[in-house]
């Protein structure tokens, strides 16, 4: 078996395609959706967690008020994105251990590509044959193959 799995992802969706032969269509293996990105859960969390919300105000307590420049180390959206990347990588590691693919390709929105890289197990990192920092999650298998070929022809 000489199969490459191509992960096409952004923070809300990951589609995994299998390629065994460059002359046959890509076969979609799995379509994963980040429920938090689709349901607006992160908006609800960020609204509740606002340091400037009246219910959490430290006004009158002698504590310093957070400034408008306050930035948490990690936003709820970033946390959800990291969790989704971790879930994808765990599924990939299990599939690798089952021998379902030989090589791996990552095609992802730039920020999410970084999240995937950070979560990849060393065994999976060694299998990555190429990376493309583009969001093609809405492309079907044929369109994805054409976009990958066009990108590789440029580089």
CATH value at residue 113: 3.30.420.60
Question: Residues 6 or more apart from 121 whose CB is under 8 A from it?
Answer: 89, 93
Tell whether 134 is covered by a domain. Answer: yes
Residue 111's nearest CA partner among 91, 129, 138, 84 is 84
Asked, for residue 62, whether it belongs to a domain, the answer is no
pLDDT digit string, tens, across residues 66-114: 566 656 677 888 899 999 999 999 999 999 999 999 999 999 999 999 9
Phi-psi region of 34 (alpha: psi -120 to 50; beta: other; left: phi over 0): beta
Is 24 a member of any domain? yes
Q: Is 151 exposed, middle or buried (0-12, 13-18, 19+ CB in 10 A)?
A: middle
Q: Model's pTM, two decimal places?
A: 0.77
Q: How confident is the model at residue 41 (pLDDT cuts 50, 70, 90)?
A: very low
Asked if the model's pLDDT at residue 50 lies above 70, the reply is no
pLDDT at 22 over 70: yes
65 pLDDT band, cuts 50/70/90, is low
Return the structure tokens found at 130: 């190429």
Q: For residue 134, give the 3-state DSSP assignment.
A: coil
Give the range of the structural domain holding residue 99, as residue numbers without chain letter.
4-34+76-154
Instruction: Kindly state the average pLDDT of the residues 123-149.
Output: 95
Is 66 part of any domain? no
The dihedral built from the CA positions of residue 57, 59, 64 and 67, taken in this order, carries a sign that is: positive
Highest mean pLDDT (candidates 19-28, 70-79, 142-151): 142-151
**56 occurs within a structural domain:** no
Pairwise pLDDT comparison (111 vs 36), residue with the higher score: 111
The pLDDT value recorded for residue 57 is 47
* Nearest-angstrom CA–CA distance, 11 and 111: 8
Number of domains in the chain: 1
Query: Which carries the bigger pLDDT value, residue 7 or residue 51?
Result: 7
Distance CA 8, CA 135 (A): 7
Distance CA 130, CA 132 (A): 7
124 assigned to some structural domain: yes
Contact at 8 Å (CB) between 19 and 3?
yes
Asked if residue 128 has pLDDT above 50, the reply is yes
Q: Is residue 91 part of a domain?
A: yes
In a domain, 49, yes or no: no
């Amino acid at each position: 078996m000489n199969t490459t799995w191509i992960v096409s992802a952004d923070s809300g969706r990951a589609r995994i395609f299998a390629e065994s032969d460059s002359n046959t269509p890509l076969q979609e293996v799995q379509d994963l959706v980040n429920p938090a990105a689709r349901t607006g859960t992160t908006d609800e969390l960020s609204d509740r967690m606002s340091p400037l919300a009246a219910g959490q105000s430290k006004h009158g307590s002698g504590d310093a008020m957070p400034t408008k420049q306050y930035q948490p180390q990690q936003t709820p959206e970033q946390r959800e994105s990291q969790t989704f990347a971790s879930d994808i990588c765990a599924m990939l590691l299990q599939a690798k251990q089952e021998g379902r693919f030989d090589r791996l390709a990552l095609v992802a929105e730039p920020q999410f590509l970084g999240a995937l890289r950070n979560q990849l197990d060393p065994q999976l990192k060694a299998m990555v044959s190429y990376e493309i920092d583009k969001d093609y999650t809405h492309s079907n298998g044929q369109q994805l193959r054409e976009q990958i070929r066009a990108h590789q022809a440029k580089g």
